[in-house]
Structure 1
Amino acid sequence: MKKILIIDDDPSICKILGKFLQKSGYEVVTALSGKQALLLLKKQSFHLVVCDYNLGDINGLEVLSKINSLYPQTIVIFISGYGNIQTAVDLVKEGAFHFLTKPLYPDIILKTIEEALSQKKPEKEKSQSKPKQQVNQDKYVKGNSASAKKLFKHVALVAPTDYSVIIHGETGTGKEALARLIHEQSKRRSQNFVAIDCGSLSKELAASELFGHMKGAFTGALQDKKGAFEIADGGTIFLDEIGNLSYEVQMYLLRTLQEKSVRCIGEVKEKVVDVRVIAASNEDLYEKVRQKSFREDLYHRLNEFKLEVPSLCERIDDLPLLVNSFISQAEVQLDKKIKGLSVQVKELFYHYSWPGNIRELQNVIKRACLLTEDGAQIEADSLPLEITDFSEMNKSQQPVELKNVILEAQKNEIIRVLEKVNYNKTKAASLLKIDRKTLYNKLKEINL
């Protein structure tokens, strides 16, 4: 029977994961701290170790170093609630088998463990393939269009500074990837990049996730927990969809930015933190300020520099570059060669409106590559129906310039939404996931 050591300062993780692995046929031992784990490792050996990276007393790299020196053949898988590409790269370079982000899914963790135990521990110098795939997936693809060049000119200017940045753009335009790029080009690149999806945080949990809590601070607080700001100390924190935070949490966030310190829930003392903040929203935050749903003082504290991320339709000239990049990623993941797009698919792509922007394009390419035979071109039958149906609906139209096709598609959608909300422009902008200023500009552009 294979023996597994689980190291995590969260007792519930140790208990739940331990029981699951025992039912799967493994002998399991648990440790609630790095020091406790090191004591166990001195007394007995394990086939595999599942280790949380942020243990509180010592970090995962120290644990890995000790395991490498004591038991070179022991396989180590790291888990963490805060995914960080650079951390994953560093750990795998040092011999870790894999880096998984929480929440943990039973089938994924079991498959990873089975795969790890079925092969030899990777050599340090040969262990770079997995994180490289992750880095490429999260990389923001630069373009040659006018809007893309303007964006990256601004990124190059603001990245080396410590300015707080607001990134505004439609859903799927790559705001988090852009935030990572800013971090990687900053003086803080060797420190943590912590991404928080504010849209998924409930009012009750937001303060705990951002600022941490002490054991016993509230029902369910079974142990001390570091908040995202403390984990990101020295680095960058990315607050995605920041407009979804409650007014109360916005107040706590403002105080943290003003005082450059955090106070965990249940603790009296404050801890000084040095964190750069990058916030993102697909809504116009200033419009939310006017609607009294976002604090004006917090908005001005964050808005030291603002980046407007163009939609895919606004950077349509970059479509070939984006397609080639996503095909290259899929080729590595699927271990196959794809000979690009057929002429018909290219035509379909240029005539489609891409409401989901770059994320939608990436998912379409991933799906198409999976359905395409090794060594073949991507054909129309591998595309989702929304793209082919969109083309069928517009087939009767005479061929026109690409820019006019895009404008016509946008015009039709704007008219449809305006009619739906009785021409209330504020509601229309909200449904279209753009701010009112962008809507007015679009109306002017299409002569409405």
Structure 2
Amino acid sequence: MKKLLIVDDEINTANLLSRFLTRNGFEVMTAASGAAAAELLKNHEFTLVLCDFRLEDTDGREVLKKIKQQYPETGVIIITGYSDIKMAVELIKMGAYDYITKPLYPDEILNTINKAIETHSALAAAPVNIYPSTEKNTDKRSIALTPGNQELVAGTSEASKELARQINLVSPTNYSVIIFGESGTGKESVAKSIHQNSDRSNKPFVAMDCGSLTKELAGSEFFGHEKGSFTGALNTKIGHFEMANGGTLFLDEIGNLSYEIQATLLRTVQERKVKRIGSTKEIDLDVRIIVATNENLIEAIQKGRFREDLYHRFNEFAIYMPPLRNRGNDMMLIATHFAKITSGELGKNISRFSSEATIALTNYAWPGNIRELKNVIRRAVLLTEGEEISGKTLPLEIYNQYIKTPVNEALAETPQAPIILPKNDLKNAAMEAEYETILRVLKEVNYNKTKAAQILNIDRKTLYNKMNAASQQTIKA
């Protein structure tokens, strides 16, 4: 059970928060002052500290400073009032994981805490070099795996070596970078590696998903707004540009921005100044911009969907992310890496893959790339009871690659079809027929689940549910 410390001199707030987090599975202790928190930190090991910025005997800055000096592995989240937002951004630069503004909302608190703990767990999983050199090298810019960089793993393929070369080449510069590649290839992980190996590494790395932005919200998310500047602006909001000042701003799915927002973005990038909505004050910017897209931006320019001048502003250096299917033996290295991390998170000791699992994984096309592989391995580790991941812990569309591989006969005495169901049970018979149809369509579309769902006239979620249901029958059988 994860142990949390709440530091707040408002006793009612601390008690309410403590009860809520206890109901959600955490072990919680509270302190009403900085001094009381210091005593608890001496005698207990906390995964995370939630600290109010304003305390009677000190403030969040001092608490954070002491925690980072004495207990560097303990995460800190700052709780702040409206007027403390600017200071909270500074505290993040000092090492706070995040900040939460009052009034407190349960869903927001729980989401932020879970993300912080996930980062903490990954850090505890013994970081390793992702591109280790064969020569002795103490260069501080050598790329290392970090909590936010779990998808960028050492590779031996030519594609991986070229990717490493480009990252090492561009990291020390202030060049803007465009990262191209299919969804799930790890574009954000590359952006983080560039940031971590630059002179800005001790400054914020702020990621923003442009694909989820509406036209109405984009300006506020990019540039921030003042309280009362428009209907619904109940408090001041810091924009992503301002939040990333001094560091790196990563804009994912940049091709999804509307043409109007692109024009505003171009002006900000050119002038290196930002102005919150509702404010007359301009704020100077020193931000490195890295963008990512799975679209062909040249084609988007030709069709009038993307501004050519903005493209050239971003395109000082371009990196192409190879799909997983083009990375040869790297796939099993990455799979082993994810298995190690997940095994540590779950307290298991999984050290290897069975022959059938290896065959199935290496024969699958991986349309979802590294993101799909990570999810598959996390599921397999959860289902594995011993020290070896077997083929039957894999999703059916992947395990089927083993079933239909001729060499499986030499590796298993009695290879069986993935579903064993009583034929006289109509429900099971219907499920098997449905499964076979799904599997056939998946094969026809090279295991692209989105396309398969369209052909089957169901949504993607329904497809996953049917596949998981069939998988459970396989496990029971």
Which bin holds the TM-score, normalised by the shorter protein? 0.5 to 0.7
Alignment-derived partner of residue 315 in structure 2? 303
Q: Which runs of structure 2 are paired with 1:150-229 in the superposition (5 Å)?
A: 150-229=162-241
1:176-228 per-residue CA deviation (whole Å, 9 max, x = no partner) reads 01100000111111111001111112211111111111111111112222111
Match of 2:396 among 385, 389, 397: 385
- Percent identity over paired residues: 42
Match of 1:317 among 303, 309, 329: 329
Deviation at 1:339, TM superposition (A): 2.5
Alignment-derived partner of residue 337 in structure 1? 349
CA contact (8 A) 1:353 1:410 kept: no
Q: 1:316 aligns to what SS in structure 2?
A: coil
Q: Residues 104 and 280 from structure 1, CA distance in 2 versus in 1: closer, same or farther, beyond 3 angstroms?
A: farther
Q: Residues 49 and 179 from structure 1, CA distance in 2 versus in 1: closer, same or farther, beyond 3 angstroms?
A: closer
Alignment-derived partner of residue 110 in structure 2? 109
Give, as a single letter, the amino acid of the residue that structure 1 aligns with 2:299: E
Q: 2:304 aligns to what SS in structure 1?
A: coil
Q: 2:50 aligns to what SS in structure 1?
A: strand
Of the two structures, which has the highest relative contact order with CA contacts closer than 8 Å and spacing of 6 or more? 1
Deviation at 1:112, TM superposition (A): 6.5
Give, as a single letter, the amino acid of the residue that structure 2 aligns with 1:173: T
Runs of 4 or more, structure 1, over 2 Å off, are: 2-7, 17-26, 40-53, 58-69, 86-91, 98-113, 127-139, 389-399, 409-414
Q: Structure 1 residue 267 and structure 2 residue 267: aligned?
A: no
Q: Residues 100 and 391 from structure 1, CA distance in 2 versus in 1: closer, same or farther, beyond 3 angstroms?
A: farther
Q: 1:264 aligns to what SS in structure 2?
A: coil
Q: Residues 50 and 410 from structure 1, CA distance in 2 versus in 1: closer, same or farther, beyond 3 angstroms?
A: closer
**Total equivalences in the alignment:** 362
Alignment-derived partner of residue 379 in structure 2? 367
Q: Residues 111 and 274 from structure 1, CA distance in 2 versus in 1: closer, same or farther, beyond 3 angstroms?
A: closer
Q: Which runs of 5+ in 1 are unaligned?
A: 8-14, 27-39, 92-97, 117-126, 400-408, 421-448
CA contact (8 A) 2:75 2:120 kept: no
Q: Residues 51 and 294 from structure 1, CA distance in 2 versus in 1: closer, same or farther, beyond 3 angstroms?
A: farther
Q: Residues 157 and 68 from structure 1, CA distance in 2 versus in 1: closer, same or farther, beyond 3 angstroms?
A: closer
Q: Distance in 1 between matches of 2:260 and 2:364?
A: 42
Deviation at 1:65, TM superposition (A): 3.8
Match of 2:295 among 278, 283, 298: 283
1:309-332 per-residue CA deviation (whole Å, 9 max, x = no partner) reads 000011022122212211211121
Give, as a single letter, the amino acid of the residue that structure 2 aligns with 1:78: I
Alignment-derived partner of residue 78 in structure 1? 77
Q: Residues 356 and 104 from structure 1, CA distance in 2 versus in 1: closer, same or farther, beyond 3 angstroms?
A: farther
Q: Distance in 2 between matches of 1:237 and 1:59?
A: 29
Q: Residues 176 and 6 from structure 1, CA distance in 2 versus in 1: closer, same or farther, beyond 3 angstroms?
A: farther
Q: 1:141 aligns to what SS in structure 2?
A: coil
Residue range with higher mean Cα deviation, 384-393 or 257-266? 384-393
CA contact (8 A) 1:168 1:280 kept: yes
CA contact (8 A) 1:261 1:272 kept: yes
Q: 2:306 aligns to what SS in structure 1?
A: coil
CA contact (8 A) 2:185 2:371 kept: yes
Q: Residues 321 and 396 from structure 1, CA distance in 2 versus in 1: closer, same or farther, beyond 3 angstroms?
A: closer
Q: Distance in 1 between matches of 2:395 and 2:295?
A: 28
Q: Residues 49 and 339 from structure 1, CA distance in 2 versus in 1: closer, same or farther, beyond 3 angstroms?
A: closer
Alignment-derived partner of residue 354 in structure 1? 366
Alignment-derived partner of residue 444 in structure 1? none
Q: Residues 396 and 215 from structure 1, CA distance in 2 versus in 1: closer, same or farther, beyond 3 angstroms?
A: same
Deviation at 1:49, TM superposition (A): 6.5
Q: 2:327 aligns to what SS in structure 1?
A: helix
Q: Residues 112 and 394 from structure 1, CA distance in 2 versus in 1: closer, same or farther, beyond 3 angstroms?
A: same
Deviation at 1:380, TM superposition (A): 0.9
RMSD of the TM alignment (CA)? 4.8
Q: Structure 1 residue 145 and structure 2 residue 157: aligned?
A: yes
Q: Residues 61 and 273 from structure 1, CA distance in 2 versus in 1: closer, same or farther, beyond 3 angstroms?
A: same
Deviation at 1:349, TM superposition (A): 1.1
1:364-416 per-residue CA deviation (whole Å, 9 max, x = no partner) reads 11111111124x211011001121235556769999xxxxxxxxx999648x9
Q: Distance in 1 between matches of 2:287 and 2:59?
A: 19
